[in-house]
Chain A
Amino acid sequence: MHETRDSITDIWGDRAPNNGEWQERIDERTIEPPEHWVQSACVLCSNGCGMDIGVKDGKIVGVRGRGIDRVNRGRLGPKGLHGWIANHSPDRLTTPLIRRNGRLEAASWDEAMDLIVERSQTIQQQRTAGAIGFYTSGQLFLEEYYTLGVIGKAGLGTPHMDGNTRLCTATAAAALKATFGSDGQPGSYTDLDTTAAILHIGHNIASQQTVLWARILDRLAGKNPPKLVVIDPRQTYTAKEADVHLAPKVGTNIPVMNGLLNLIIQAGHINPEYIAAHTVGFETLTATVSQWTPERVEQVANVPVRDLQAAAEILGTARSLVSTVLQGVYQSMQATAAACQVNNLHLIRGLIGTPGNGIMQMNGQPTAQNTRESGADGDLPAFRNWDNPDHIADLARLWNVDPMVIPHWSPPTHSMQIWRYAEQGSIELLWISGTNPAVSLPELSRARKILQKEDLFVIVQDAFMTETAELADVVLPAAIWGEKTGCFTNVDRTVHISHQAIDPPGEARADLDIFLDYARRMDFRDRDGAPLIKWHNSEQAFEAWKECTRGRPCDYTGMSYAKLSQGSGIQWPCNEKYPDGASHLYTDSHFNTDYDYCETYGHDLDTGAATTPEEYRADDPKGKAFLKAADYLRPYEEPDAEYPLWLTTGRVVYHFHTRTKTGRSPELNRAAPDAFIQISEPDATQYGIAAGDSIAVTSRRGKIIVPARIGDIIPGVVFIPFHYGYWDNGNRTRAANELTLTEWDPISKQPHFKYAAVKINKVEA
């Protein structure tokens, strides 16, 4: 075995001071010397590190970082260095399975696909395509999502398509759309190399994107380190490095952000010329945040006045600023509203569109950006606006179908609503690809009941027998990363290609091939009678996608497989104007809000009520950004006498999602073998709990039993990681989502995983 560093014990590796340009360091881990290397990128978090796959005798034997890549300069994190071992797990699915007499039995591809087609056609005939839903992932490739999007929207004509990205990054898209008119991150990772200050809110970046955190640690070790402000109720690795750490009460992001904006406006640390020239809504914003004096913020959010002032001083005076936002905002009360306040911070200071100034409304998954771009989730392809008839006509021309075929009478259905329709029986066929809702959805007892319904035909397309696959009617064995070719896009708009390095095991097939086979068997046609899907492999799909993006914010037309296979990943937009990609959006401070161009006409931040096209046109901002204001709303479930503690959920550094891959790496699994509950010292003393004690945690929806960990969290709040389900340990109820709420943010429709009221008590192990 060859290993350049032990990433399990030393997560981020050695420091190399970053004084404006991040140095290369090649991280590598192989179990045998590879015969050759194949270009790829990592899929075990949203960072999108360029990596090469080492191959010997048709097997993956290791990985190394790509030094040339702009994202990671050769570095890889513990998940990337270890997770690939899952490709060769003996328990990969290698043949289709069909449920017969209550049991999943091996079947041929023909049998499985014939059954799926027969069910699809019958259901469509009897109930229309509105009885068919798709629930996909943030793990498939761009070409696969786009193909799925066309099948659903122009082939079947169902509005019911979404991804598990709804659970992790829907708010990123919603907040970017609300403020700037369309999805798309304004800045670049390279902003971190020069910025004067960094804000992380609800984002434990040290655990979530370890390589991006290494970039920041290297800045902190260099000359002129940036000031760091962290907002998180836990004392995370990230928080421990902060100059100012604010630990607000659960559900109080809006009071804290409004309090910060108020102090910054009061101190005059704003850019009035920028505000006047490039934004709308400053008066309302000022009126709203002026109610949030530091004293009132302390009262509501429990953040000391002097700490809020210290944070406002940094955020108000730094000459440049990078802000990152993640689940602590996206999965909490007033998710979109709070994420918008971070956008507001940059706009009122005019810190956007230039080097050193970036907003990262982070993604949770490696290909989440593509689910959002391509139309496989609750958005239309290439950030088109479902409420704009011209955008629908445009898609209809591109696909050569009648515009009436494309469902656009209301927004594409969001995942929690898809599950509700399935629960009520109006969705009869649900096709799940690359995700494990039986562990990742909120309120799991309900999710399991839906998946087991007699009148719901469930197709699961996956690499492993997940908790969800076990409940399916048909299981399709999927090829994964390393076994197929395709592209994906990370948070800072960098597109990578990942080439096929090895063959999939047994009869497993690429998701793209499965979707193409379905389209062929369903015989989807365009309006001239030609096949609707005109591509047969991933490169052709990529070319079709490029056409779909022409002239849109995520313009891929300047890219090709050949160009992407030459060195570093490339940022979109990449077109005639930006042949090598663009590091920043909005460099001219003209935002994507024009009536004819924008992706949305916006919503009421409290209710989610849609702004009508007529209302939007009457006040067309014509390229100015929206300063959206929001006042505080209390969470709908709060601790009480019966359930006295707040539960919040999240991740650990060694695992990704429901551990389908990371749980199969012996090293990662040893490093983090089980779920736990993190309890503050005062609460542990009060309940007489010692580290390692077995604790029953109960909410109004379920009960789990997990061992205790003490410390690094504010009193009154407990934390449980959401990764752990039952495939490798069915002895004990331990999935955090047994406890969580079915409830969503009114704009992004992202569920509220970050709060629920629970009670705890010690039990005999």
Chain B
Amino acid sequence: MHIGNYLALIHGSEQQLADALDTIAAHHGDEPDILQTCQLLACWSRQHLELLKPIVDRYSEDKNDEPERLSSTLFDEPRNGSLALLRDLHDLWLLAHEVQLCWTVLIQAAQALRDRELLATCQQCSVDTKRQISWLMTRIKQAAPQALVVAA
């Protein structure tokens, strides 16, 4: 059984997402919305980590540094300006999709395992992740034209 493999993946990528949201929140604090919204979204990701704890304890997770490597590949050094904001939101979107894909895979496995607790947790968390992705997409669409076409 390889549930442990994906529990490590989700655990690691949700942690990376929470940390990245905190970093971006602080880094783009001059925007009217980034600080507050990214803090809120980071808070959801940290709640997910709490919810995962009993499941990880039950199944035990394999060690996996892939999420960390993914995150360090995505996020460059701190970047400034409107293009930088767009690229940071872009990378958050990619990372959030990594999280979302992990939930999908785990939801499938949970059904095959008839594990109601795992299923409920993954479904509940996946709703939040989808809301995180929706906000990122809304904000990216708003920021893109100005950043690519107008900004110096």
Q: A residues near B, CB below 8 A?
A: 127-128, 130-131, 159, 409-411, 413, 416-417, 420-421, 423-427, 604, 606-610, 633, 636, 742-744, 746, 749, 751
Determine how close the nearest CB of chain B comes to the CB of A124; give it in whole angstroms. Answer: 11
Given known A-B contacts A411-B142, A636-B39, A744-B32, A424 and B151 have beta carbons under 8 A apart: yes
Given known A-B contacts A130-B146, A411-B142, A636 and B35 have beta carbons under 8 A apart: yes
Given known A-B contacts A420-B32, A607-B134, A746 and B37 have beta carbons under 8 A apart: yes
Q: Which of B40, B82, B150, B151 contacts A606 (CB 8 A)?
A: B40
Residues of B within 8 A of A427 (CB): 150
Determine how close the nearest CB of chain A comes to the CB of B150; give it in whole angstroms. Answer: 4
Determine how close the nearest CB of chain B comes to the CB of A414; give it in whole angstroms. Answer: 8
User: In the bound complex, do residue B141 and residue A409 qualify as a contact, i.e. CB atoms below 8 Å apart?
Assistant: yes
Q: Which of B30, B35, B138, B151 contacts A426 (CB 8 A)?
A: B151
Residues of B within 8 A of A159 (CB): 145
User: In the bound complex, do residue A607 and residue B37 qualify as a contact, i.e. CB atoms below 8 Å apart?
Assistant: yes
Residue of A nearest to B141 (CB): A410
Given known A-B contacts A410-B142, A410-B145, A424-B82, A608 and B135 have beta carbons under 8 A apart: yes
User: In the bound complex, do residue A426 and residue B131 qualify as a contact, i.e. CB atoms below 8 Å apart?
Assistant: no
Residue from the set A413, A416, A424, A751 with the largest chain B CB neighbour count within 10 Å: A424
Residues of B within 8 A of A417 (CB): 32, 142
Considering the complex, which residues of chain B in the window 40-55 have a beta carbon less than 8 Å from any beta carbon of chain A? 40-41
* Interface presence of B152 (CB below 8 A): yes
Determine how close the nearest CB of chain A comes to the CB of B110; give it in whole angstroms. Answer: 24
Q: Can you name 12 extra interface pairs (CB under 8 A) apart from A426-B151, A744-B32?
A: A130-B149, A410-B141, A417-B32, A420-B32, A421-B146, A424-B151, A426-B152, A604-B134, A607-B134, A609-B135, A636-B35, A746-B37
14 contacts between A and B (CB under 8 A): A130-B150, A410-B145, A413-B142, A417-B142, A420-B31, A425-B152, A426-B82, A426-B151, A606-B131, A608-B37, A609-B135, A636-B36, A743-B32, A744-B33
Determine how close the nearest CB of chain B comes to the CB of A134; give it in whole angstroms. Answer: 15
* Interface presence of B109 (CB below 8 A): no
Q: How many A-B residue pairs have CB under 8 A?
A: 77
Residues of A within 8 A of B144 (CB): 410
Q: CA separation between A423 and B81, bound complex, in Å?
A: 11
User: In the bound complex, do residue A607 and residue B135 qualify as a contact, i.e. CB atoms below 8 Å apart?
Assistant: yes
Residue of A nearest to B43 (CB): A633
Determine how close the nearest CB of chain B comes to the CB of A123; give it in whole angstroms. Answer: 10
Q: CA separation between A424 and B150, bound complex, in Å?
A: 11
Determine how close the nearest CB of chain A comes to the CB of B80; give it in whole angstroms. Answer: 9
User: In the bound complex, do residue A426 and residue B150 qualify as a contact, i.e. CB atoms below 8 Å apart?
Assistant: yes
Residues of A within 8 A of B142 (CB): 410-411, 413, 417
Residues of B within 8 A of A742 (CB): 30, 32
User: In the bound complex, do residue A131 and residue B135 qualify as a contact, i.e. CB atoms below 8 Å apart?
Assistant: no
Residue of B nearest to A428 (CB): B150
Residues of B within 8 A of A749 (CB): 32
* Interface presence of B94 (CB below 8 A): no
Residue of B nearest to A129 (CB): B150
User: In the bound complex, do residue A607 and residue B32 qualify as a contact, i.e. CB atoms below 8 Å apart?
Assistant: no
Residues of A within 8 A of B3 (CB): none
Determine how close the nearest CB of chain B comes to the CB of A419; give it in whole angstroms. Answer: 8
Determine how close the nearest CB of chain A comes to the CB of B85; give it in whole angstroms. Answer: 9
Residues of B within 8 A of A421 (CB): 82, 146, 150
Residue of A nearest to B80 (CB): A424
User: In the bound complex, do residue B36 and residue A743 qualify as a contact, i.e. CB atoms below 8 Å apart?
Assistant: yes
Residues of A within 8 A of B31 (CB): 420
* Interface presence of B137 (CB below 8 A): yes
Residues of B within 8 A of A127 (CB): 150
Contact with A along B61-86 (1 / 0, CB 8 A): 00000000000000000000110000
Determine how close the nearest CB of chain B comes to the CB of A740; give it in whole angstroms. Answer: 13
Q: CA separation between A131 and B150, bound complex, in Å?
A: 6
Q: CA separation between A496 and B73, bound complex, in Å?
A: 61
Residues of B within 8 A of A131 (CB): 150
Residues of B within 8 A of A425 (CB): 151-152
Q: CA separation between A128 and B31, bound complex, in Å?
A: 23
Q: CA separation between A763 and B144, bound complex, in Å?
A: 49
Given known A-B contacts A608-B33, A608-B135, A746-B33, A426 and B146 have beta carbons under 8 A apart: yes
Residue of B nearest to A123 (CB): B150
Q: Which of B36, B81, B137 contacts A609 (CB 8 A)?
A: B137
Determine how close the nearest CB of chain B comes to the CB of A127; give it in whole angstroms. Answer: 5
User: In the bound complex, do residue A607 and residue B40 qualify as a contact, i.e. CB atoms below 8 Å apart?
Assistant: yes
Given known A-B contacts A424-B81, A426-B82, A608-B37, A409 and B145 have beta carbons under 8 A apart: yes
Q: CA separation between A425 and B137, bound complex, in Å?
A: 24
Q: CA separation between A417 and B134, bound complex, in Å?
A: 20
Residue of A nearest to B152 (CB): A425
User: In the bound complex, do residue A633 and residue B33 qualify as a contact, i.e. CB atoms below 8 Å apart?
Assistant: no
Q: CA separation between A411 and B82, bound complex, in Å?
A: 18
Q: CA separation between A427 and B147, bound complex, in Å?
A: 11
Residues of A within 8 A of B134 (CB): 604, 607, 609-610
Determine how close the nearest CB of chain B comes to the CB of A545; give it in whole angstroms. Answer: 28
Residue of B nearest to A752 (CB): B36
Q: CA separation between A200 and B134, bound complex, in Å?
A: 34
Determine how close the nearest CB of chain B comes to the CB of A747; give it in whole angstroms. Answer: 11
User: In the bound complex, do residue B141 and residue A420 qualify as a contact, i.e. CB atoms below 8 Å apart?
Assistant: no
Residue of B nearest to A427 (CB): B150
3 smallest beta-carbon distances between A and B, as pairs: A609-B134, A130-B150, A609-B135
Residue of B nearest to A745 (CB): B33
Residue from the set B40, B132, B150 with the largest chain A CB neighbour count within 10 Å: B150
Q: CA separation between A421 and B30, bound complex, in Å?
A: 11
Residue of B nearest to A414 (CB): B32
Determine how close the nearest CB of chain A comes to the CB of B28; give it in whole angstroms. Answer: 10
User: In the bound complex, do residue A130 and residue B145 qualify as a contact, i.e. CB atoms below 8 Å apart?
Assistant: yes
Residues of B within 8 A of A608 (CB): 33, 37, 135, 138
Residues of B within 8 A of A607 (CB): 37, 40-41, 131-132, 134-135
Residues of B within 8 A of A426 (CB): 82, 146, 150-152
Q: CA separation between A112 and B51, bound complex, in Å?
A: 64
Q: CA separation between A743 and B31, bound complex, in Å?
A: 8
Residue from the set A416, A423, A633, A742 with the largest chain B CB neighbour count within 10 Å: A742
Q: Which of A128, A416, A606, A609 contacts B138 (CB 8 A)?
A: A609
Contact with A along B114-152 (1 / 0, CB 8 A): 000000000000000001101101100110111001111
User: In the bound complex, do residue B131 and residue A604 qualify as a contact, i.e. CB atoms below 8 Å apart?
Assistant: yes
Determine how close the nearest CB of chain B comes to the CB of A159; give it in whole angstroms. Answer: 8
Q: CA separation between A742 and B33, bound complex, in Å?
A: 9
Q: CA separation between A421 and B85, bound complex, in Å?
A: 12
Q: CA separation between A742 and B150, bound complex, in Å?
A: 24
Residues of B within 8 A of A420 (CB): 30-32
Given known A-B contacts A426-B150, A607-B134, A608-B138, A633 and B145 have beta carbons under 8 A apart: no
Residue of B nearest to A419 (CB): B32
Q: CA separation between A215 and B137, bound complex, in Å?
A: 48
Q: CA separation between A200 and B40, bound complex, in Å?
A: 30
Given known A-B contacts A607-B135, A609-B138, A744-B33, A128 and B149 have beta carbons under 8 A apart: yes
Q: CA separation between A609 and B37, bound complex, in Å?
A: 10
Q: CA separation between A113 and B80, bound complex, in Å?
A: 36
Residues of A within 8 A of B146 (CB): 130, 421, 426
